[in-house]
Amino acid sequence: MASEWLQFVKAHKSVRLPSGALDLKAISKLYHERGYDPAPLTSKLPERWFAAMKAGIDKRSDVRNPYAIVKNIWARLTPAKRAEIRAREAKGEYFKYDLPLPDDRSTRGVGTLRMVKPFKLAEVQVNLSLTDYLAALKSGLFSKMKRQDGTIALVARCKSENKNCNIFIDKVT
């Protein structure tokens, strides 16, 4: 496994930072995007289940690392549910993405309220003018978050035992 990674780094030694040093972060991203993984999925995660979940998250979400999310979902499953998934995988059954879809509601202004009841999650997505966006940024209540499309959103998160609430603010240009 380690030799596979070293060979991959040697093959991509042209990926460098402006200072001339190897850009290991970019090489690692390429490594995972091309399907390599230092720990094989078969050792811990059922391949078909994992592939279905990862594909569903990729299609329905803009998260940066769906692999980590699927691993987190697997870790939170009960031992009985894991055994059931492994048994279905052993029979050769194919899986489909089965996480609950969000209930999205448009607001009267420009924005969306998203609710996912099984996850006790509520998110609000709003779009503000540049001046209002800058005022929200200066308030200190929000931190910056880079989206996959390269835009910067402001985000405030609140997590408790009862529920998770997130606020996302984008600027309208």
Angle between helices 66-76 and 47-60 (to 10 degrees): 120
Handedness of CA 102, 58, 77, 157 (dihedral sign): negative
Tell me 63's DSSP state: -
Sequence ranges of the domains in the chain? 2-90, 103-171
For residues 56-61, give the mean pLDDT: 76
pLDDT tier at 143 (50, 70, 90 boundaries)? very high
For residues 27-54, give the mean pLDDT: 71
Burial label for 70, CB within 10 Å (0-12, 13-18, 19+), is buried
pLDDT at residue 94, rounded to an integer: 87
pLDDT tens column, 77-130: 888 888 899 889 888 888 888 777 777 788 777 788 888 887 788 899 998 889
pLDDT at residue 134, rounded to an integer: 92
Residue 154 has pLDDT above 90, yes or no: yes
Residue 62 has pLDDT above 70, yes or no: no
C-alpha 156/C-alpha 1 separation (Å) is 39
Burial label for 9, CB within 10 Å (0-12, 13-18, 19+), is middle
Query: Residue 59 corresponds to which tokens in the numbers above?
Result: 């299609």
Say what the pTM is.
Answer: 0.49
pLDDT at residue 40, rounded to an integer: 44
